[in-house]
Amino acid sequence: MVNFQDYELFKTKFYNFTTIDLNLYKERQMKRRITSFASKYGFTTYCSFLDHIKENEDLKNEFINYLTINVSEFYRNPKQWELFAEKIIPDIASRKNLENIKIWSSACSTGDEPYTVVMILNEFIPLKHIKVLATDIDVEAMNKAKKGIYHVRSVRELPKKFLDKHFKRIDENNYQISQEVRNCVEFKQINLLRDPYPRDIDIIICRNVLIYFTEEAKDMVFTEFSKSLTKDGILFIGSTEQIMNYHNYGLKPIATFFYKKTEG
């Protein structure tokens, strides 16, 4: 790539084209990813690359899918999910009917996370009473999620009881999650850095995404998450993340990577 000025112009034009604001992502990481992708296709400036993807829908979708850093698998960091199942859900169940619980998987990628939530909840209530909202900026990732087909690598951490109960093996390398579980998840496109957030949520899950955001963007997201949560609602973040100034958002830590909203 040629120079810094070209990248600044690229960010402006890219925002006008996609409404994705690259200023809210850590520049060094994002610039490196974009450079790597564009160079692979032989482009020497960011703007020449942008002009091309404006005319090539497939490449544009591939680029946005690459840009949004979709790294996901079932039961990623198992100890956290065990805590979710053994402490967080029972705590909410002690004060609310789980059939009315509102859960938002806010950067759901290919669906591994919201489907994990459904399988855990099914240990407490029937599938027909479970509904999880799953959102992401990447429509292609969510389209994959709706099909529910996953490589064996994606389910390697999943407890055997879930694999046996909710999946069928469709070939040597892939499993498909049941239609009954898929029916429990509503997928919707939401850009956390731009779009309105849902309200009155009991549990928000946002794991391993905010590490790519600037401090300004994180502050905005945590502020909006707090507004979205009900009193005593839970925010579940990733193992590489921590909210240092949680008091600013009306949150308090209740376990590692779990925060409760303390204010109405």
Q: Note whether 14 and 136 are same-domain residues.
A: no
Q: Does 72 map to a domain?
A: no
Asked whether the whole model's pTM tops 0.75, one would answer yes
Q: Note whether 104 and 48 are same-domain residues.
A: no
The pLDDT assigned to 112 comes to 94
Q: Tens digits of per-residue pLDDT, 85-136? A: 999 999 999 999 999 999 999 999 899 999 999 999 999 999 999 999 999 9
Query: Residue 66, Cα to own-chain centre: how many angstroms?
Result: 14
The pLDDT assigned to 72 comes to 65
Q: Given a cut of 70, is residue 3 above it in pLDDT?
A: no
Q: Given a cut of 60, is residue 246 above it in pLDDT?
A: yes
Q: Given a cut of 90, is residue 237 above it in pLDDT?
A: yes
Q: Note whether 94 and 157 are same-domain residues.
A: yes
What percentage of the chain has pLDDT greater than the value 90?
Answer: 67
For residue 192, which of 175, 213, 178, 171 has the smallest C-alpha distance? 213
Q: Given a cut of 90, is residue 145 above it in pLDDT?
A: yes
Domain boundary among 14, 44, 67: 67
Question: Would you say 204 and 106 are in contact if contact means Cβ atoms under 8 Å apart?
Answer: yes
User: What value does the mean pLDDT of the chain take?
Assistant: 91
DSSP string spanning 133-202? EEEES-HHHHHHHHHTEEEGGGGTTS-HHHHHHHEEE-SSSEEEE-HHHHTTEEEEE--TTTSPPP-SEE
The pLDDT assigned to 264 comes to 63
Confidence of residue 26 (pLDDT cuts 50, 70, 90): confident
Q: Note whether 134 and 249 are same-domain residues.
A: yes
DSSP string spanning 221-233? HHHHHHHHEEEEE
Q: Tens digits of per-residue pLDDT, 27-72? A: 888 888 899 899 888 898 999 999 999 999 889 888 887 877 655 6
What CATH number corresponds to the domain at position 113? 3.40.50.150
Number of domains in the chain: 2
Cβ count within 10 A of residue 159:
17
* Residue 32 lies in domain: 4-67
Q: What is the mean pLDDT of residues 8-22?
A: 89
